[in-house]
Amino acid sequence: DTAVSQTPKYLVTQMGNDKSIKCEQNLGHDTMYWYKQDSKKFLKIMFSYNNKELIINETVPNRFSPKSPDKAHLNLHINSLELGDSAVYFCASSQVQMGNEKLFFGSGTQLSVL
Amino acid sequence: GEDVEQSLFLSVREGDSSVINCTYTDSSSTYLYWYKQEPGAGLQLLTYIFSNMDMKQDQRLTVLLNKKDKHLSLRIADTQTGDSAIYFCAESDNAGKSTFGDGTTLTVKP
């Protein structure tokens, strides 16, 4: 069983469209995240949720809206897609214990905006 | 804010040792991590070290931490072609929030 699974793996769409990426973890972790990896492989945190509550919201356009229906799921909806949104988006989860944040990553969603 | 820096590229010959270096600025770092990313995959936690330790060994991997200089290194002994990947250094603070370096691409030549 895959610990952190996200769908779809590839997403090709036109500028201006709205799209969603789904993520599920079966590790029983309390915290879930979305990261963005650009073409240079630099990794930046976008959001994190703890028990369905938003705890980190980095400088991300409000076209990006995360939703956590329960602590095992964290979805990412993107409105009015732009060319600069093309990247690989990673979902991750962790069970933070005394400052130890071991992250478990999904395999990524490669988003291409044309 | 916190900053984590690492060199972007490293190339070694198969069988040699690889040493990937990382520096960080956050004095309140509690844990430091090394993640590996293979092509087309997500990041995978390789190893981590608590900030009051100075060394951790796990099979071919040795992590060295110099807390005074805020310097972390990952040594891979007997490097194999399967070790070719991007290696990310990361640190977490007391709240457990992680900051990642920009990754070091390790190329292993036969």
* pLDDT tens per residue across all 110 residues of chain B: 579 999 999 999 999 999 999 999 988 888 999 999 999 999 999 999 999 999 999 999 999 999 999 999 999 999 999 999 999 999 988 777 889 999 999 999 99
For residue B6, give how far its alpha carbon lies from the nearest alpha carbon of chain A (Å): 12
Q: Computed from CA positions of residues B65, B22, B36, A31, in that sequence, does the dihedral angle turn out positive or negative?
A: positive
Please give the angle made by the CA atoms of A99, B104 and B29, to the nearest 5 degrees: 20
Testing the interface with B: which of A51, A102, A104 to mutate, by most B Cβ within 10 A? A102
Testing the interface with B: which of A103, A104, A107 to mutate, by most B Cβ within 10 A? A103
User: Quick check: B100 and A106 CB within 8 A?
Assistant: no
